[in-house]
Structure 1
Amino acid sequence: MKKIFFFFLIIFFFNACAVKNQNNLSQSIAIIINSPFLKMSDFGFLIKENQTLNLEVYHLGQAFFNLKIKDKICLNAACYDKKVFNKKFFKNEYYDDILSDILNAKPLWQGKNLQKTASGFKQNLKAKNYEIFYAVSKNKISFFDTVSRIKIILGYQG
């Protein structure tokens, strides 16, 4: 009986010490967001885990901004449908996953007007309700919409 108990104790110990999730990535970033809805300039972490993005921003060592994107977009525990969030945050009804694409440094609108650069790509996108300049390089993401007056800049650390 003691041998069986000891065997299960050993199995439990090794299982508890095992790494559970290999599909996550955490990056420290400098972030600037300037929009009619939100203004901030600080440092934080962008955590990519499975199908979830989590942007955590800290001020004086305390987490004060938490943006989580999965099937909905949650801002400090208040969750919104993606279209509703886009209308509130961007003052525009862009496609559902635009914020996720920006945070993941992916081309917008499936690569429309994409121009390759030496260190990444850029896009100039224009319609009656937006005029966007979007650039992705090795250490920086820049998104500007001059119509909605939105600016998002992410600078990757280290």
Structure 2
Amino acid sequence: MKKIFVFFLVLFFFNACTVKNQNYHSQSVSIIINSPFLKMRDFGFLKRQNQILILEVYRMGQAFFNLKIKDKICLNIACYDKQIFNKKFFKNEYYDDILSDILNAKPLWQGKNLQKTTCGFKQNLKTENFEIFYEVCQNKVSFLDKISHIKIVLAYQG
């Protein structure tokens, strides 16, 4: 009886270790961010888990940059409302989920001025507050706001 109990206990622990979160995806990414708030050129991981998006960048084996987007945007340990983060990071009041859309390679402003290309799409968006060139081509995302001097380039690996 004791052997059967130990067998089931060991089986339970091995089974628990093999269960994976089906809503989890991790992807390596090369990232360039050039803004008045932050300058970075590194490699990291973009993780998607349920409704959470996490960008982690490492230096010498240590995570030094951790961006987490859910209902708020957290940069390392400081969390901001999305509008406040956008104003601080982008120097502009874009819509709340613009950073999520960029990291997920989705069209901005619900596809306004979207032009299909042979490898993806591009958008040119211009108002008095911003002049944005945005392009998604295969595994590369490029965002440039000429007025705010913001540049984000992501190259997804694999």
TM-score category of the 2 structures, normalised to the smaller one: over 0.9
Which residue of the partner structure matches residue 143 of structure 1? 143
Q: Distance in 2 between matches of 1:4 and 1:71?
A: 47
Unaligned ranges ≥5, structure 1: none
| One-letter amino acid matched to 2:60 | L
Q: Secondary structure, in 3 states, of the residue corresponding to 1:21?
A: coil
Q: Distance in 2 between matches of 1:106 and 1:44?
A: 20
Q: Deviations along 1:116-156, whole A, 9 cap, x unmatched?
A: 00110000001110000000011200000001100000011
- 5 Å-filtered alignment, 1:105-144, equals 105-144=105-144
Which residue of the partner structure matches residue 74 of structure 2? 74
- 5 Å-filtered alignment, 1:9-158, equals 9-158=9-158
Q: What is the aligned-residue RMSD (CA, Å)?
A: 1.4
Q: Deviations along 1:49-71, whole A, 9 cap, x unmatched?
A: 11111000112222110000011
Q: Distance in 2 between matches of 1:59 and 1:10?
A: 38
- Relative to structure 1, the CA distance from residue 7 to residue 61 in structure 2 (aligned partners, 3 Å threshold; closer, same or farther) is closer
Offset at 1:6? Answer: 3.4
The farther-off stretch of 8-17 and 83-92 is 8-17
Q: Distance in 1 between matches of 2:98 and 2:109?
A: 8
Deviation >4 Å, runs of 4+: none
Q: What TM-score do you get using the length of structure 1 for normalisation?
A: 0.94
| One-letter amino acid matched to 1:134 | Y
Aligned length: 158
Q: Secondary structure, in 3 states, of the residue corresponding to 2:40?
A: strand
Offset at 1:7? Answer: 6.0
Offset at 1:19? Answer: 2.0
Q: Deviations along 1:57-95, whole A, 9 cap, x unmatched?
A: 112222110000011000001100000000000000100
Q: Calculate percent identity across the aligned residue pairs.
A: 78
Q: Secondary structure, in 3 states, of the residue corresponding to 1:84?
A: helix
| One-letter amino acid matched to 1:54 | I
Q: Distance in 2 between matches of 1:117 and 1:135?
A: 9
Q: Deviations along 1:16-43, whole A, 9 cap, x unmatched?
A: 2232301111111110000010001111
